[in-house]
Amino acid sequence: MKDKLLNWLNLILVADVFLVFLGFGWFAIAVMGEAAGINLGLDLWHKLWQPVFNPAIGILMGGAILSGLISWVSRKFLSSQ
């Protein structure tokens, strides 16, 4: 059960990492476009910040902490059995 939970958690975290990287790349390109006077979707990115990218970063941090905590508990308490 623990291994299945960790596999699902890791799969979600990998997908979430790609979403966060995609959002960062979009932001960086849109800022450069804005500086050059080209509209590359910075306004849309700002609209998506609160409902999409902000929770994705929070899920990534929380999932990483949860994954580390589960691994630590497994090593600490289950390895002696």
| 3-state secondary structure labels for all residues of the chain | CHHHHHHHHHHHHHHHHHHHHHHHHHHHHHHHHHHHCCCCCHHHHHHHHHHHHHHHHHHHHHHHHHHHHHHHHHHHHHCCC
pLDDT of residue 80: 63
pLDDT of residue 53: 97
For the chain, 81 residues long, give each residue's pLDDT as a single digit of tens: 778 888 888 899 999 999 999 999 999 999 999 999 999 999 999 999 999 999 999 999 999 898 889 889 888 887 765
At 75, give phi and psi (nearest 5°). Answer: -70, -40
